[in-house]
Amino acid sequence: MAEARQHVVPDEPDGDQGEGKMGFLEHLDELRKRIIRSCVAIAAGMLVAFFFVDRLGDFILAPTLKTLPPGEALIYTKPGEGFAFYLDITFIGGIVLAAPFVMYQVWRFIAPGLYAKEKKFAVPFVVLTTVGSIGGALFTHYLMFPATIAFLGTFHSTAMRFVPRVEDTFDLYKNMMIGMVIVFQMPTLIFFLAKMRLVTARFLWRNIKYAILIIFVLAAALTPSTDPWNQAIFAVPMIGLYLAGILIAWIVGPKQDKANQQAAHKLRLLFAATVLAQARRTRNRSESEWPRRWRRSTR
């Protein structure tokens, strides 16, 4: 009777030692604390970025200035456009500088509700997202954005003068940056899909031809010109990310033990032997029936 009353208690998320379960209001209070600390960190990062705002602005606008005729510069037509540009740069710089602390606050908020095995994903997640974000930003600034601005500047003529506005140029730069940062998260996405056993390295490798086709279609849509070389510049990094994702899926994917591998090998041998035996029976039957058919045809 005592054994019948026993039941398996499911694992509970690991929490900090000495802390009980938190209620809804306590969760809201904890969230408020993390948000306030993150906002303070972003404000401190903005203060630091403000002292380098001129250098950051020149760094962002350098690809556009190279396409303009000598002595030309970008313009702004709204009274607060220049101030808004430097304010946006300061805000983005503050977010970048405070990103490690903000991610730490996010982790401190969600960690008590995770299991021990789920907490192991924290380091790969931070590393992959950070590398992908930096790679997407560098790719946009040094390849994608300069190529786009150079193509748009080719329409400059005596009838049309290429004088871009600061707001339009920075919006284009910002949108491209966000898009490529998202694209460069492909290895991160494949990592978690492989961990959840939704995809495998073999599945990704078998469908690589479809992936390359989709990548070139996206590259053609993102490339401002019809030059195949420019399309290749955009497509090759994406293909490299896909191959990196295959490698990641092969590393983190579930591995078969020796017993399962031997069983699968025996099953393949049995299937091959069955096919060969059936083919041999079919051949023998056709050879035995051929003389009879020949005699009937000669009558």
* Distance separating alpha carbons of residues 9 and 226, to the nearest angstrom: 62
Mean pLDDT within 246-257: 76
Residue 135 is predicted with a pLDDT of: 87
Tell me how many helices (H) and strands (E) the chain has. 13, 0
Coil, strand or helix at 56:
helix
Condensed to tens digits (0 to 9), the pLDDT of residues 106-150 reads 888 887 777 777 777 777 877 888 888 888 888 888 888 888 888
Tell me the per-residue pLDDT of 168-187, one tens digit each, with 9 for 90 and over. Answer: 888 888 888 888 888 888 88
Report the 10 Å Cβ neighbour count for 53.
Answer: 16
What letters, b where the CB count within 10 A reaches 16 and e where it falls short, cover 184-205?
bbbbbebbbbbbeeebbbeebe
Is the pLDDT confidence value at 298 over 80? no
**Phi/psi at 165 (nearest 5 deg)?**
-85, 155
Percent of the chain beyond pLDDT 90? 9
Contact partners, residue 1, CB within 8 Å, separation at least 6:
none
C-alpha distances out from residue 209 to 47, 156, 184, 219, 267, Å:
49, 39, 20, 15, 29
Report pTM: 0.67
How far from chain centre, in Å, is Cα 229?
Answer: 24
pLDDT over 50 at 257, yes or no: no
pLDDT (tens digit per residue) in 4-53: 444 444 444 454 444 456 677 888 888 899 999 999 999 999 999 999 99
**Beta-bridge partner residues of 75:** 165
Question: Would you state the pLDDT for residue 227?
Answer: 66
The residue type found at 241 is L
With contact defined as beta carbons under 8 Å apart, do 178 and 88 qualify?
no
Q: Which residue has the higher pLDDT, 85 or 282?
A: 85
